[in-house]
Structure 1
């Protein structure tokens, strides 16, 4: 796994995109409930906001 460099500054903003190796796959749509649950659990441990 890559070791990304991040600016650890209060109020910092990050932009990220999620893609799959197989761009024709509908995996993210089929598993959207699991994705939402993962985001919910992560926010409970490490609070953050999503501006989208």
Structure 2
């Protein structure tokens, strides 16, 4: 089952060399796509289908 967005975002950001989500326009979406298209694509595909 897909993880809640808050959990995913918290876990993901804790290991990324990015600024805090508040410093970005679309936290959890744009940064995730830039950092790991495969992971982001797989997560969003799984959570939306």
Fold similarity call, TM over 0.5: no
Higher Cα Rg: structure 1 or 2? Answer: 1
| Greater relative contact order (Cα < 8 A, sep 6+) | 2
Shorter-chain TM-score: what band?
under 0.3
Q: Which structure dedicates a bigger proportion of its chain to helix? A: 2
TM-score with structure 1 length normalisation? 0.27
